[in-house]
Structure formats: C-alpha cells, structure tokens
Amino acid sequence: MLYRRKKLGGKPVRPPTILSELLDEYGNFARRVRDLAEETILEQRLYIARFLEAQPFSTPAELFASLNTMRVQRFVFKYAENHGKGSLRWLQASLRSFLRFCYYQGYVSCDLSAAVPAFRSWRLSSVPKGIDDAKITLLLKSIDSRESRVRLRDLAIIHLLATYGVRGIQIRRLRFDDIHWAKDHIHFRAVKGGRAVVQHLTQQVGSSLLAYIRDERPNSTPHLEVFLTSRPPFHPFRKSGSLSGVIARRLREINVELPEGVSRGTHSFRHAFARRLTGKIPLKYIADMLGHRDLSSTFIYSKVDFIALREAALPWPEEAE
C-alpha cells in the first residue's frame, strides 16, 4: 500500500507516475535538500537507474508497493558478484540516499536505507591488477589503424592514461591551461583529497593531444576542458563511467579479454603504471606521481614487487640434526 506523508498545508505529496520522473525528483531533492554537487547527482542517478531497471515494475507506484528489505539486499548482493569495490561503494551510497528520499517524501512507510548491506574491505588485503603492457600496445595500434569519428580523441585519452597513470576524473577535468607546451609539462588537478600531479609532456602524448585538438575536437564550443563528447551538444564528460565506457568499447572491438579482477576501465591503466615502476624507483616517487598525499595509499603496490619480496623472505629453518 502506498504511503503518502502530508505536507505542512495538509496536501499529500503526489508521487511521480513514471520512473524517469522519479529520478528527476530525486535529483531535485539531492540538489535542494542535501546540497550535493551536480557531478555527484549525475553519478548517483546512474546507479539508482541500475537498481530501477533491475526491478520488474514499470511505474513508481508498483515499485513503492513492493519495495522491501529482501528486494534491496538481493539486488545489492547480485551486483557485488560482478562489480568492483569502487562501483559497489557508489551503489551503496546512492541506494541508501534514494531510499531515504523515498521515505522522506512519504512514498514508503519505513526507511529502507539501513537494508543496504555493508561489505567489509580490509586495507591492503588484495593485490592490484592492471592491464598488461602488451594489451595496451595492441589497443593503441588498433585505434590508430581504425577509422572512427573519435579515433584521435580516444587515442589521446589512452596515451595519457598509460603514460601517467592518472585517474579518469583528472583526464575529464584536463583543461587547455593545464598543458604547458613551451615548458614541456602537463598539470593534472588534485582530486579525492590527493595532490596535484605535474609531469613531463612526452613527445608521444603531446603529438596525440595536438592531433585531437587540431583535427577532431569541435571548434564551436565555449568549454575549456580538452576532451568533449562526440555528439552535439558537445560538452565535457560528466560521469565517471564515461571514459571507462570508451575503454571497454575499444577492448570489445578487438576482442581482448582481460583476466578476472582486471578492470575494463581507466583504473586498470593506473594499476599498470604503478606496477611498471614498483621496484625500480622509491615508493615515495611513485606516490607523488599517483598524486597520493598519504604514502600508505601507495603501499598496496609494494605487494606486486615479487622479486624484492623474495629477497626479503627469511630462509626456511633447517631441521636440527
């Protein structure tokens, strides 16, 4: 039974009639009541939409009438089987916020946000897995030889990811004034409480950026971000999954299968970058290049330096005669 909370004037809240209206109403709530950033709202809508699309209901009224703890938990557990920790964290936060919104608006009779299960994640408990260098080379060659509307854009994006190991959000936020052609360096803005990263602008990266900006990037746009969408109205990538979608699509085109646990998105290049340097330069330098403010965030990559770990291992004690 649909529950409707009355407003101060006594008039009940009118629930939306279609799921897209429900998403729009949640977006307005997140903006007006919770004061969330637009980028966060767009990201949360993406994950809430995944939850709604997985439900066997076509209207909000049907959803509200059948929403319960078991339905919420079943979806989250199923999602966790096929997605990484980062995606799962986004889903948990988005779904909790959405369920609180449904209760706040009076669409359901109880707050189901507590029904979203929590998963323990032990720090340094896993080994980071990245795409191997041979597959990166294969991917770059395939894009360079394939005719497409966004060939130069995708080529430049992957060159940046593979060369510098920066986050996808830093690629999305890269602006023209971050590229210092005369000084041969490139600046990536700080994100997630980390440090900004300043790197040497390699000839390969500079050439791929210049080719995209000169020959493929739309000219009639006020945006200062370097990378734009391929269809009008042209604008910067707004969602975190946008660049990962580009990578996944390019991998599908050449039928490349990645090992289990390796992301098909931008983060696999970050892991590959750190793994490539581990054991060759001090961990502090790797932390600086990754933009880590806390060195402990970089310790996870020391686990992939198997040669150093082997040398550090104590000899097995001989049995006393």
Residue 233 preceded by cis peptide, ω within 30: yes
DSSP type of residue 298: G
Averaged pLDDT for residues 149-171: 94
Output 116-119 pairs: Cβ under 8 A, ≥24 positions apart.
116/72, 116/73, 116/76, 116/92, 117/73, 117/76, 117/77, 117/92, 118/92, 119/80, 119/88, 119/92
CA 158 – CA 249 distance, rounded (Å): 13
Superfamily of domain 133-310: Intergrase catalytic core (1.10.443.10)
Tokens of 23: 């998403």
Residue 313 has pLDDT above 90, yes or no: no
Averaged pLDDT for residues 104-126: 82
* Degrees, nearest 5: CA angle 280-155-217: 135
Q: Are strands 197-200 and 185-188 parallel, antiparallel or unpaired?
A: antiparallel
pLDDT of residue 85: 77
The domain limits of the chain are: 19-115, 133-310
| Region for 192 from its dihedrals, namely left if φ exceeds 0, alpha if ψ lies in -120 to 50, beta otherwise | left
83 is catalytic: no
284 is catalytic: no
What angle in degrees, to the nearest 10, is found between the helix axes of 283-290 and 267-277?
Answer: 160
pLDDT in tens, 249-266: 998 898 888 777 677 788
Superfamily of domain 19-115: Tyrosine recombinase, N-terminal domain (1.10.150.130)
185 is catalytic: no
Catalytic site residue from 96, 173, 270, 271: 270
267 is catalytic: yes
Query: Which residues are 228's β-sheet partners?
Result: 236
Amino acid occupying residue 96: R
Catalytic site residue from 192, 231, 249, 252: 192
Averaged pLDDT for residues 195-211: 95
301 is catalytic: yes
Q: Which residue has the tokens 């988005």?
A: 94
Q: What percent of the chain shows pLDDT beyond 70?
A: 87
Catalytic site residue from 159, 167, 271, 275: 167
CA 85 – CA 296 distance, rounded (Å): 19
Distance set, CA 50 to CA 16, 79, 90, 305 (Å): 18, 10, 12, 38
CA 206 – CA 191 distance, rounded (Å): 23
pLDDT in tens, 216-228: 999 889 999 999 9
